[in-house]
A and B are shown apart, each in its own frame.
Chain A
Amino acid sequence: MIEIKNLYKSFEGQTVLKDISFRFQQGITNLIIGRSGSGKTVLVKSILGLLEIDEGEIWYDEKNFVKISQKERKALRREIGMVFQGGALFDSLSVEANVGFPLEMFTNLTAREKEKRIDFCLDHVNIEKTAYKLFPSEISGGMKKRVAIARAIALNPKYLFCDEPNSGLDPETATIIDRLIQDLTKEFQMTTIINTHDMNSVLEIGESVMFISKGEVWWEGTNKEILKTNNEKLNDFIFANKIYDQMRKDL
Chain B
Amino acid sequence: MNLFFHIGRYFLLLKRVFGRPEKSRIYLKQLFKEVDNLGVNSVWIVVIISIFIGGIMTIQFAYSMSNPIYPKTLVGLGTRDTLILEFSSTMLALIMAGKIGSNITSEIGTMRVTEQIDSLEIMGINSAGFLILPKIVAVVFIFPFLFIISVFFGLIGGLVTGPVVGVISVTDYLKGIQFLFYPYYVTFSIIKSLFFGFIVASIPAYFGYHVQGGALEVGKASTNAVVNTNIFILLFDLILTRLLLT
Give B14-48 as 1s and 0s: 1 = Cβ < 8 Å from A's Cβ atoms.
00000000110010000000000000000000000
On whether the beta carbons of A88 and B114 are closer than 8 Å, the reply is yes
On whether the beta carbons of A105 and B114 are closer than 8 Å, the reply is no
Contacts of A85 in B (CB 8 A): 115
- Say yes or no: is B116 at the interface (Cβ < 8 Å to chain A): yes
On whether the beta carbons of A91 and B115 are closer than 8 Å, the reply is no
Contacts of B123 in A (CB 8 A): 77-78, 101-102, 105-106
- Say yes or no: is A243 at the interface (Cβ < 8 Å to chain B): no
| A77 touching B122 in the complex, CB below 8 Å, given contacts A104-B26, A105-B22, A105-B26 | yes
On whether the beta carbons of B26 and A88 are closer than 8 Å, the reply is no
Q: State the Cβ distance, B146 to closest chain A Cβ, in Å.
A: 23
Contacts of A240 in B (CB 8 A): none
On whether the beta carbons of A77 and B124 are closer than 8 Å, the reply is yes
- Say yes or no: is A238 at the interface (Cβ < 8 Å to chain B): no
Q: State the Cβ distance, B237 to closest chain A Cβ, in Å.
A: 33
On whether the beta carbons of A105 and B125 are closer than 8 Å, the reply is yes
- Say yes or no: is B89 at the interface (Cβ < 8 Å to chain A): no
On whether the beta carbons of B23 and A50 are closer than 8 Å, the reply is no
Q: Which of B95-129 contact A (CB under 8 A)?
A: 110-111, 114-116, 118-119, 121-125
- Say yes or no: is A86 at the interface (Cβ < 8 Å to chain B): yes
Give A14-44 as 1s and 0s: 1 = Cβ < 8 Å from B's Cβ atoms.
0000000000000000000000000000000
On whether the beta carbons of B124 and A74 are closer than 8 Å, the reply is yes
Closest B residue to A155 using CB positions: B123
B115 interface neighbour in A73, A75, A84, Cβ under 8 Å = A84
Complex Cα distance, B110 from A90, in Å, reads: 10
Complex Cα distance, B23 from A48, in Å, reads: 23
Closest A residue to B119 using CB positions: A88
Contacts of A48 in B (CB 8 A): 122
- Say yes or no: is A82 at the interface (Cβ < 8 Å to chain B): yes
| A50 touching B122 in the complex, CB below 8 Å, given contacts A85-B115, A90-B116 | yes
On whether the beta carbons of A78 and B122 are closer than 8 Å, the reply is no
Q: Which of A134-189 contact B (CB under 8 A)?
A: none
Interface residues of A (CB under 8 A from B): 45, 48, 50, 73-75, 77-78, 80, 82, 84-86, 88-91, 101-102, 104-106
Q: A50-B121, A50-B122 are in contact. List 9 more A-B contacts (CB 8 A).
A: A50-B118, A77-B122, A78-B124, A89-B116, A91-B114, A104-B26, A105-B123, A105-B125, A106-B124
